């Protein structure tokens, strides 16, 4: 079992829909990252959070440390949001740089 | 530079050849990370540099893989006697000096796609 599990693996939505991607992890962490990867490989960091909630534009990320769970929400989705969304965790302790990544969620937003 | 730059963006080589992949991090970022992403998988940690030294190279799969960062800026990932299983996207990321609690925000390059025939 992977230390970081994402669901769903694939998600197709219509433009304008509210989207939720989930991430569960099994290790103690110091921080959790949400990343966006477009075709061709480039990765962009969306959020880094260790508690509570962060918002940037139409994107919202939440984390529940007790439940070891995080969600990424996209409001008013748009075709340009189509990408792979990856959850990654920094383990607590001395090796916090050694991120463990989920396999990603492929999001397709149709016009 | 404005972002993390990786070269080449694509490399096709034959089995048994030697390959070098280069990463130029954001100026001032002392922490540099190499990851490898196989098709359909999330990235996997290879090596972490803090300044010029490899603080943790435990993710390198075997002794055919080696990385250097001689001046604390540009890093080169070197792969000897390449095998077909080495085919993957090799990602580089950098960050400011990591805080005590986490890596800090990571900035990724576009990756170098290596194909070993």
pLDDT of residue B51: 87
Quick one: pLDDT at residue B95? 87
The SS3 call for residue A105 is strand
Using an 8 Å Cβ cutoff, are B69 and B49 in contact? yes
Q: How far apart are CA B25 and CA B32, in angstroms?
A: 7
**Given phi > 0 = left and psi -120 to 50 = alpha, else beta, which region is B71?**
alpha
Give the pLDDT confidence score for residue A99 in this predicted structure. Answer: 85
The whole-angstrom separation of Cα B72 and Cα B49 is 8
Supply the pLDDT for residue A41.
Answer: 65
Q: Check A42 against B111: CB less than 8 A apart.
A: yes
Cis peptide before B8 (omega within 30 of 0): yes
Contact B101 A30 (CB under 8 A): yes
Distance from CA of A47 to the nearest CA of B (A): 8
The pLDDT value given to residue A88: 93
Compare all CA atoms of chain A with the CA of B6 and give the residue at the minimum distance. Answer: A42
- On chain A, the residues whose CB falls within 8 A of the CB of B87 are none
User: Does residue A38 belong to the interface with chain B, where contact is any CB pair within 8 Å?
Assistant: no
Hey, is B86 helix, strand or coil?
helix
How far apart (Å, rounded) are the C-alpha atoms in residues A51 and A111? 34
How far from the centroid of its chain's Cα atoms is residue B21's Cα? 7
Q: What is the pLDDT of residue B114?
A: 97
How close, in Å, is residue B41 to chain A by CA atoms?
5
List the single best residue of A21, A30, A35, A42 to mutate versus B (max B Cβ within 10 A).
A42
A40–chain B Cβ distance below 8 A for any pair: yes
Q: Quote the DSSP letter at residue A81.
A: G
DSSP B98: P
Q: A97 vs B48: CB contact, 8 Å cut-off?
A: yes
Q: Which residue of B has its CA nearest to A6?
A: B42
**Count of CB atoms within 10 A of residue A42's CB?**
18
For A105, B15, B49, B56, the CA distances from B80, given in Å and listed in that order, are 33, 10, 20, 20
Cα of A33 to nearest chain B Cα, Å: 8
Residues of chain A with pLDDT under 70: 1, 41, 94-96
For residue B67, give the nearest of B45, B31, B17, B75 by alpha carbon. B75
Contacts of residue B93 in chain A, CB cutoff 8 Å? 43
DSSP B73: S
> How does pLDDT run along chain B (117 residues), one tens digit per residue?
579 999 999 999 999 999 999 999 999 898 899 999 998 888 899 999 988 888 889 999 999 999 999 999 999 999 999 999 999 999 999 988 665 455 567 889 999 999 999
Residue A83: both structure tokens together: 């990408």
């Amino acid at each position: 079992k992977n230390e970081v599990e994402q669901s769903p693996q694939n998600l197709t939505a219509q433009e304008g829909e509210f989207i939720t991607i989930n991430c569960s992890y099994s290790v103690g962490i110091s921080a959790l990252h949400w990343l966006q990867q477009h075709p061709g490989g480039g990765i962009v960091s969306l959020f880094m959070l260790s508690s509570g909630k962060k918002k940037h534009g139409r994107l919202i990320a939440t984390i529940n440390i007790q439940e070891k769970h995080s969600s990424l929400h996209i409001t008013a989705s748009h075709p340009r949001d189509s990408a792979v969304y990856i959850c990654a965790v920094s383990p607590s302790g001395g090796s916090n740089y050694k991120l463990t990544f989920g396999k990603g969620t492929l999001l397709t937003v149709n016009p | 530079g404005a972002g993390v730059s990786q070269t080449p963006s694509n490399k096709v080589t034959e089995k048994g050849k030697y390959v070098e992949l280069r990463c130029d991090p954001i100026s001032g970022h002392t922490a540099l990370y190499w990851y490898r992403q196989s098709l359909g998988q999330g990235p996997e940690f290879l090596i972490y540099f803090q300044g010029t030294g490899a603080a943790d190279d435990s993710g390198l799969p075997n002794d055919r893989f080696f990385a250097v960062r001689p001046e604390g800026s540009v890093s080169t990932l070197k792969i000897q006697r390449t095998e077909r299983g080495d085919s993957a996207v090799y990602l580089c990321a950098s960050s400011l000096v990591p805080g005590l609690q986490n890596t800090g925000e990571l900035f990724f390059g576009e990756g170098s796609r290596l194909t070993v025939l």
